[in-house]
Amino acid sequence: MYTDKVMDHFTKPRNVGEIENPDGVGEVGNASCGDIMKIFLKVENDIITDVKFKTFGCGAAIATSSMVTEMAIGKTIDEALALSNQAVAEALDGLPAQKMHCSNLAADALHEAIKNYRETHK
């Protein structure tokens, strides 16, 4: 059902936790399945230098959260905004169709964190 990459990011998630004094925080959730993702950003000179996440949800939710943090570190704010949920799923070699709508909210959480960063660092 899940790819090897999904299982790897689920069983050994990267960048779990919180950033003390983050530059941006984003949280999204899906009430129908209960997945909730919170992303914390550290930004220096328009570059994302650190990303951490806390996710409550299924294996796919944890895997997508882990993957999006890996994809965002080192990117500019604009490059990170271009990351889509589809790109995250593709980086994991795909997700089951029934998991795409609820557990793949990771890019949305990242975008919310960037929005928060931009609102608080004008």
Residues with a catalytic annotation lie at: 33, 102
What phi and psi, each to the nearest 5 degrees, are found at residue 3? -75, 165
**Phi and psi based region of residue 79 (left: phi greater than 0; alpha: psi -120 to 50; beta: remaining):** alpha
**Strand, helix or coil for residue 7:** helix
Q: What is the C-alpha to C-alpha distance for residues 49 and 94, in angstroms, rounded to an integer?
A: 27
CB 53 within 8 A of CB 69: yes
